[in-house]
Amino acid sequence: MLQLYFSPMACSLASRIALMEAGLDARYHQVHLWTKQVADDDSDFKGISPKGAVPVLVLENGERLTESAAVLQYIADVKPEAGLAPPSGDPDRYRLQEWLSFVGAEIHKAFLFPIFWYKDDGSLAKPRARIAQTLSVPSAHLANREFLVGDRFTVADAHLLWALLLLRPAGIDVAQWPSLSAYLERMQARPAVREAIATEMALRKTVPVSPA
Amino acid sequence: MLQLYFSPMACSLASRIALMEAGLDARYHQVHLWTKQVADDDSDFKGISPKGAVPVLVLENGERLTESAAVLQYIADVKPEAGLAPPSGDPDRYRLQEWLSFVGAEIHKAFLFPIFWYKDDGSLAKPRARIAQTLSVPSAHLANREFLVGDRFTVADAHLLWALLLLRPAGIDVAQWPSLSAYLERMQARPAVREAIATEMALRKTVPVSPA
């Protein structure tokens, strides 16, 4: 059985959504990102992954895979009939990779990461000034489309919807982009997405937001 | 023929290296990133890609693909016999995606981007404090390996070697990590890599480093 190391409402939420959309059973291990401890037994998370970051997917053979772009494609390929990624060889597979990179680099690492981890005004002004231009890209793309890639839900949607959920706690009102706001509402209406978010929001309340 | 929009020594260098390692002919269009103009004719680069970022790969069918992680995998798959990416279905393909994500998000977007674009001390302190931990990951991985993935050069190496090249202008001495330093030297000994860098370094001298 696959195992996912996650932290509630961190970017590993996209991997949980992918697993649930695929109908894959998995064992979930909560990680405290600030202390780098595994909640199960307070063991050192860096023993699982020296990066100290989620998601970490433990494969059936015991190997550990990190980075959302890789983990999400792996999960999609375990259950191809779920259609969570265009098959390899399909030109849309590169579109999926393009969106996974954009969400991971431009929205997550260039904006959300500084907001939630650096926390001093000097570090935040530039990322805040830049986010509107960043979000104009998916906003324009989704003006006349239901999903990011092709005509069905893929792991790229799991990734983007997570990033959009974090905009509000990051101080950005997604309503400024009606197409993103409508998209987020559509995505949250999906049973697997709703259940994944409810599970992690409940867990989220049990952990401190940041170090004391 | 494929076409690549690039800026000298920007992350699009990895795509040029991939094209040259694959032995693929391509047409190269230089972009001034600060003014967002295409050097050929001073036209608006945002007309090519609203993101205003390189690389942009124009495919044979005229479609435009962005994001290094997607562009590099596309190039590798055009010429599978060059072995620049493990084939789809090979477990190492996910390792390739893992490294492409790590370089693009953790080294490029979390460190190099703020250093070269934000330029004020408030924005730079946190990324600078974090880069040693980031680089410890590839440093440990490459301690006993010649390449990032498997036993041959892949597009993940093209991506990482570009990022390592930029450390010096970013004020970081790669010699602190002997395995990275040795790796960078090995990579730069490859004829295609050496030629790609020489081409872009020569072009680099013709453009201003930042807006006046």
Cβ–Cβ below 8 Å for B114 and A104: no
SS3 B72: helix
d(CA A54, CA A58): 12
Summarize pLDDT for A132-158 with one digit per residue, the tens: 999 999 999 999 999 999 999 999 999
Is A73 in CB contact (< 8 Å) with chain B? yes
Summarize pLDDT for B98-122 with one digit per residue, the tens: 999 999 999 999 999 999 999 888 8
* Among A67, A94, A97, beta carbon nearest to B102: A67
Buried b (16+ CB within 10 A) or exposed e, A16-33: bbbbbbbeeebebbbbeb
DSSP string, A63-93: -EEESHHHHHHHHHHHSGGG-SSPPTTSHHH
ipTM of the complex: 0.96
- Kindly list the residues from chain B whose CB atom is less than 8 angstroms away from the CB atom of residue A118: 126
Instruction: Tell me if B48 sits within 8 A of B26, measured CB to CB.
Output: no
d(CA B21, CA B15): 10
Summarize pLDDT for A42-81 with one digit per residue, the tens: 999 999 999 999 999 999 999 999 999 999 999 999 999 9
Residue A212 has pLDDT above 50, yes or no: no
CA of residue B90 relative to chain centroid, distance: 23
d(CA B212, CA B209): 9
CB pairs under 8 A between A and B: 104
Is B110 in CB contact (< 8 Å) with chain A? yes
Provide the shortest C-alpha distance from residue B92 to chain A (in Å): 11
Is B64 in CB contact (< 8 Å) with chain A? no
* Lookup: tokens for B157: 């190496």
Q: Please give the order of strands across the beta sheet that includes A64-66.
A: A43-44, A37-38, A26-32, A2-6, A56-58, A64-66
**Domain locations in chain B as residue ranges:** 2-83, 91-193
Share of residues in chain A with pLDDT > 90 (%): 92
CATH fit for domain A2-83, picks 1.10.8.50, 3.40.50.12780, 3.20.20.70, 3.40.30.10:
3.40.30.10
* Among A73, A108, A123, beta carbon nearest to B123: A123
Nearest CA in chain A to B121: A122
Cα-Cα-Cα-Cα torsion B132, B166, B95, A97, nearest 10 degrees, comes to 120
Q: What is the 3-state secondary structure (H, E, C) of A114-139?
A: HHHHCCCHHHHHHHHHHHHHHHHHHH
Mean pLDDT calculated for residue range B163-184: 97
Mean pLDDT calculated for residue range A27-50: 96
Across-strand partners of B194? Answer: none
Cβ–Cβ below 8 Å for B104 and A106: no
Nearest CA in chain A to B110: A109
Instruction: Tell me if A203 sits within 8 A of A30, measured CB to CB.
Output: yes
Average pLDDT, chain A: 95
CATH fit for domain B91-193, picks 1.20.20.10, 1.20.1050.10, 3.40.718.10, 1.20.120.430:
1.20.1050.10
Summarize pLDDT for B39-73 with one digit per residue, the tens: 999 999 999 999 999 999 999 999 999 999 999 99
pLDDT for residue B207: 78
Q: Which helix (H) or strand (E) holds A58?
A: strand A56-58
Cβ contacts of B111 within 8 Å, gap of 6 or more: B127, B128, B130, B131, B134, B170
Cβ–Cβ below 8 Å for B68 and A101: yes
Mean pLDDT calculated for residue range B152-175: 97
pLDDT for residue A120: 82
Is B116 in CB contact (< 8 Å) with chain A? no
Residue B212 has pLDDT above 70, yes or no: no
Q: Which of A126, A136, A141, A159 to mutate to probe the B interface, most B CBs <10 Å?
A: A126
